[in-house]
Amino acid sequence: MSITISQFQQIKSIEGQTFEFGIEKEIAVLSVLSGIDTDTLESYPKDKLIGLTHKHAQDMDISEQPTCKFRIGRRVFDVCLEANKLTAEQFILIARYTESEANTIENLHYIMAALTQEHKLLIGLHPFAFDYEGKAELFRQRLTIDKAYGTAVFFCEVYKSWLNATEIYLVEEAKKLQTMVKESLIQMK
């Protein structure tokens, strides 16, 4: 079983903390992965801690391959990886949650909520914003990092290059409009 976005976020916050001894950090991470409180883990013999660490180490494998569709329970979600198919509202949300690279992991569930649409039987796809906050919280608690991370990394890279291309395109269009307006003004004289 892979770790959830919530667990991943907790582990990333532990990385920024200062511990007197390295084993304290290992226990804090193991507590997040295992669900066992730190006091109980501290009472375990070292060999039992090592065994738990090995058991949970496989959960930390993270792929950078984007996921196009995933399931949480009976709910199925499509991920939109094509920037030109996203709405302006989706781009605004993604811009908000990726504004500071330091907060991208903290906001990973919101980014994924902005990139997805839910399938509904007989209805088709819900718009991405359908219960956006509820979907983001579902993703934080239940979406595994192996599905979310690669998708978010892929899209954020595409997003950066798309913004650059969009800016160049808009500048060129603005120049064309300026020229057209100038020509129209000259003809009116």
Specify the pLDDT at position 43: 93
The H-assigned helical ranges of 2-64 are 5-15, 22-34, 38-42, 46-57
- Give the pair of three-digit tokens for residue 30: 């193991």
State the Cα–Cα distance between residues 90 and 10, nearest whole angstrom. 26
Q: Quick one: pLDDT band at residue 110, thresholds 50, 70, 90?
A: very high
Indicate whether 74 pLDDT > 90. no
Query: Taking the model in full, what pTM does it have?
Result: 0.74
State the Cα–Cα distance between residues 109 and 134, nearest whole angstrom. 11
Residue-range domain boundaries for the chain:
5-60, 69-179
Indicate whether 125 pLDDT > 70. yes
Specify the pLDDT at position 86: 80
User: Collapsing DSSP states into helix, strand and coil, what is residue 144?
Assistant: strand
Please tell me the number of Cα atoms within 13 Å of 36 on its side-chain side: 15
